[in-house]
Amino acid sequence: MEQIMQLFPAFLLVLCRISSFIVVAPVFSTRTIPGTFKIGLAFFIAVIVFLNVGFDDRVTADANYILAVMKEVLAGLLIGFVAYLFFTVVQTAGSFMDMQMGLGVANIVDPLTGMSAPLLGNLKFMLMILVFLNINGHHYLISAIMDSYRWLPLDNHFFQTVYGGSLTAFLSRTFADTFMLALQVSAPLVVAMFLTDVGLALLTRAAPQFHVFVIGIPVKIMIGLAVLILVMPGIGVVFQTLFDHMYDALEKLFVILQAGES
């Protein structure tokens, strides 16, 4: 019992990082997954990680233990947030496409997140989840949080890394990259809608008797759906590119966290 009480603080730190990661990580944080499953998954992953790293780092439950818990929670949230940023790319791109097609007012409730989401963004988000699960991307996320202890051990200097500013610069650059990726994903349909608007404007000048405001919306919806059907076969390649960017971002994050330890 005495040995268990000595190892319990380290196990609790491991559980804090794993639990906070599952709270925000894509796929694992969806509302459709029961809370008991999330707790059980976090516990068993924490046990596996603790058997590898928990005996190496002795943790004392003193006054600094509260700061250690905060560091582990923030580290788990940071890793999960960076991964989730690249899943919001398709929702942002869907918002751009919906606004151009005239579907911006027809948002629906996303059953995975419980938030209002655009129609096309929700469609692509569900397709992205299916492709991600098909290529076993969730296994990579689990291995990433387990390998994070090689880059950021329990006795880490996470707050010093944040104070250094490199982590903030990385998050700002990653957010800008995700926004740029959203523009690139929505570019085909947005350009098609822009050309449609130009054509409708020329039609108004050439034949003022046509009611552009009446025929414009259904025309844009039909053209938008036609373009969406044309680009749908290549959507898997787009998702694979997003996943590659996500993996590269996680690797850069771990390098920055390891640099803060040295």
Q: How many angstroms separate the Cα of 139 from the Cα of each of 48, 54, 135, 144, 219?
A: 15, 22, 9, 9, 43
CA dihedral of 99, 24, 175, 158, whole degrees rounded to 10: 170
pLDDT score of 5:
65
* Residue 158 near residue 257, CB atoms below 8 Å: yes
Radius of gyration over alpha carbons of the chain, in Å?
23
Does the reported pTM lie above 0.85?
no
User: CA-to-CA distance for 82 and 87, rounded, in angstroms?
Assistant: 10
Per domain, the residue ranges of the chain are 76-261
CA distance 253 to 255: 5
Contact (Cβ atoms closer than 8 angstroms) between residue 107 and residue 116: yes
Whether 122 contacts 98, CB under 8 Å: no
pLDDT at 118: 65
CB atoms within 10 A of CB 120: 23
- Which residues fall within 8 angstroms of residue 261, CB to CB, at 6 or more apart? 151, 152, 153, 156, 157, 161
pLDDT of the chain along its 262 residues, tens only? Answer: 566 666 777 888 888 889 999 988 888 888 778 888 888 988 998 888 888 776 566 666 677 788 888 888 888 898 889 888 888 888 888 778 877 777 665 555 555 555 566 677 777 778 888 888 888 888 888 888 888 888 877 777 777 777 777 888 888 899 888 888 888 888 888 888 888 888 888 877 777 776 777 777 788 888 888 888 888 888 888 888 888 888 898 888 888 887 765 5
